[in-house]
Amino acid sequence: MPKDKVPDVVIRRLVTYLRVLNELEAGPNDYISSAKIADLAAVNSAQVRKDLAMFGEFGKQGVGYPILALREELISILKADREMSIAIFGVGELGTALNRYLTSRRKATPDYRFVVTGLFDIDESKIGTFVEGIPILHTQDLPQVLEDEEIKIGVITVPASVAQEVVTFAVSCGIKGFLNFAPVRLKVPEDIRVQNSDVTLDLQELAFYL
Amino acid sequence: MPKDKVPDVVIRRLVTYLRVLNELEAGPNDYISSAKIADLAAVNSAQVRKDLAMFGEFGKQGVGYPILALREELISILKADREMSIAIFGVGELGTALNRYLTSRRKATPDYRFVVTGLFDIDESKIGTFVEGIPILHTQDLPQVLEDEEIKIGVITVPASVAQEVVTFAVSCGIKGFLNFAPVRLKVPEDIRVQNSDVTLDLQELAFYL
């Protein structure tokens, strides 16, 4: 099925299934039922079966899915074994925190696929300093960096007021995917992908129910 | 409308509308159309009107909604002016990062409603040290802390292997809401609220499309 025909919500669930499978100790003869996946992933089991069937994965009646094989299949569907290089734009509080978090995940799990390869800011006092061995460069140096290495994902942790211009610039330089932490809606061309994340939004939503 | 009858997705949108309204400079005579809110919030304008109508907010035909009044109304609906105290469980990389982030948001915007009032860990080498003026206490000291102050939200940044037991314990002590960063599905009683957040999940989902 073509990527752009797969609904976001399905991908979100597949990513969650892969995560729950990764958490299991399993040998080549171990199976997992859709009910168990459903329980761990917080979806209903009919949904699990439907999602997996979309990609040709059918469980064995009364037994379930072979854990290792299903894990490999999900990794293949999600191309989850490809290393993805990340550039962080905006090395303030949150940018620094994310960099530390991603770097320590990578140290803890060597096959962690996300690797920070670039740090960008416009604050002169930061430029030229090093964080976890990576130099902070001026955002305007992005084109030169992209001559030597590919950056798959731009993490946007700049102030809201400049988020759009940073993304517009990064798109013009060739970056095609963004994880946005700025509280603004980014306008991007149709072929550019933006994922939005905001701890405050999560907290606001949670707080409503408390 | 009773809280538990409002779908999550509606609250998520209301929180986003409030955020876009907060980003605007506005005087008492300034109006905003549902189309403009829709554009800034990345939803369609019919949805905006439907969401706001659910709470009795009706725009003026051809003009829209009065910005300041609508902002106040959303704050009231979401009870977004209540201060919410947060305890962070697990003061590792991510817990420390979140603490710094929340603390600096609060310093930058004094009416930022989320305030970290407690830090908990089980690592003896951390207990008794201070972060941003708050001492790290042993998780088992939670009941004593709750005798003196209320904690509304528990942020879960402990390893996946202990997340459930920490939450079970915190629930037994009286905390009713959790923002969970551990890659596990938490089992909680029906009256307990859990919001899940995971940067890696966001990145995995984003990466599928790149």
**Domain CATH number, residue B45:** 1.10.10.10
Of A40, A78, A178, the CB nearest to B208: A78
Within A32-132, residue ranges assigned H as helices are 34-41, 45-54, 67-78, 93-108
Please report the number of interchain residue pairs, chain A to chain B, with beta-carbon separation below 8 angstroms.
166
> Do residues A5 and A13 lie in contact, with contact meaning Cβ atoms separated by under 8 Å?
no
Q: What is the mean pLDDT of residues B27-49?
A: 89
What is the pLDDT at residue B142? 98
**Mean of per-residue pLDDT scores for chain A:** 89
Q: What is the mean pLDDT of residues A40-55?
A: 87
Residues A55 and A88 in one domain: no
> Does a structural domain hold residue A210?
no
**Mean of per-residue pLDDT scores for chain B:** 89
Residues of chain B in contact with residue A96, where contact means CB-CB under 8 angstroms, are: 97
Highest mean pLDDT (candidates A95-104, B71-80, B144-153):
B144-153
Residues B96 and B198 in one domain: yes
Q: How far is CA B44 from the centre of its chain?
A: 24
Per the model's pLDDT, the better-predicted residue between B32 and A3 turns out to be B32
**Most A-contacting residue of B15, B88, B104 (CB-CB within 10 A), to test interface:** B15
| Residue A207: HSE in the Cβ half-sphere, 13 Å Cα cutoff | 25
Residues A110-131: tens digit of each pLDDT: 778 999 999 999 999 999 999 9
* CATH code of residue B193: 3.40.50.720
Within chain A, residue ranges assigned H as helices are 8-22, 34-41, 45-54, 67-78, 93-108, 142-148, 160-173, 199-208
> Do residues B195 and B178 lie in contact, with contact meaning Cβ atoms separated by under 8 Å?
yes
Residues B101 and B174 in one domain: yes
Residues of chain A in contact with residue B183, where contact means CB-CB under 8 angstroms, are: 19, 23
Tokens at A22, concatenated: 């990764």
The ipTM of this complex is 0.85
Residues B108 and B177 in one domain: yes
Q: What is the mean pLDDT of residues A185-199?
A: 90
Residue B1 has pLDDT above 60, yes or no: no
Rg of chain B taking only CA atoms, in angstroms: 20
Q: Which residues contact B9 (CB under 8 A, 6 or more apart)?
A: none
Cβ contact A93–B101 (<8 Å): yes
Residue of A nearest to B98 (CA): A97
List C-alpha distances in Å: A51 to A23, A26, B9, B180.
Answer: 20, 22, 22, 25
CA distance B13 to A185: 13
What is the pLDDT at residue A54? 85
Cβ contact A101–B93 (<8 Å): yes
Residue B5 has pLDDT above 70, yes or no: no
Report which DSSP code applies to A182.
S
Q: What is the mean pLDDT of residues B160-188?
A: 92
Residues A54 and A90 in one domain: no
Residues B66 and B158 in one domain: no
Cβ contact B197–A197 (<8 Å): yes
Highest mean pLDDT (candidates A140-144, B50-54, B89-93, B200-204):
A140-144
CA distance B71 to B75: 6
B176–chain A nearest CA distance, Å: 7
Q: Which of A46, A78, A110 is the last residue of a domain?
A: A78
What is the pLDDT at residue A1? 58
Helices (H) and strands (E) in chain A, counts: 8, 9
Of B113, B185, B195, the CB nearest to A41: B185
> Does a structural domain hold residue A209?
no
Tokens at A141, concatenated: 């140096």
Q: Which amino acid is at B202?
A: D
> Does a structural domain hold residue B210?
no
Cβ contact B23–A78 (<8 Å): no
> Do residues A91 and A131 lie in contact, with contact meaning Cβ atoms separated by under 8 Å?
yes
Q: Which of A60, A78, A96 is the last residue of a domain?
A: A78
Residues A162 and A99 in one domain: yes
For chain A, how many structural domains are there in total? 2
Tokens at B143, concatenated: 């009941």
Residues B90 and B183 in one domain: yes
Q: What is the mean pLDDT of residues B141-153?
A: 95
Residue of A nearest to B76 (CA): A208
> Does a structural domain hold residue B120?
yes
Residue A6 has pLDDT above 80, yes or no: no
User: Is this prediction's pTM over 0.90?
Assistant: no
Range of the domain at B148: 84-204
Residues of chain A in contact with residue B193, where contact means CB-CB under 8 angstroms, are: 206, 209-210
Residues A191 and A148 in one domain: yes
> Does a structural domain hold residue B72?
yes
Angle separating helix axes B8-22 and B45-54, nearest 10 degrees: 100
Residue of A nearest to B192 (CA): A210
What is the pLDDT at residue A88? 98
Residues A13-44: tens digit of each pLDDT: 898 899 889 888 899 999 999 999 988 887 88
List C-alpha distances in Å: B101 to A53, A75, A96, A165, B137.
Answer: 41, 33, 10, 23, 20
What is the pLDDT at residue A183? 72
What is the pLDDT at residue B116? 96
Residues A67-93: tens digit of each pLDDT: 999 999 999 888 888 999 999 999 987
Residue B184 has pLDDT above 80, yes or no: no
Number of Cβ within a 10 Å radius of residue B58? 10
Residue of B nearest to A96 (CA): B97
Tokens at A170, concatenated: 């990064």
> Do residues B155 and B138 lie in contact, with contact meaning Cβ atoms separated by under 8 Å?
no
Residues B72 and B144 in one domain: no
Of A12, A42, A185, the CB nearest to B41: A185
| Residue B86: HSE in the Cβ half-sphere, 13 Å Cα cutoff | 30
Residues B73 and B94 in one domain: no
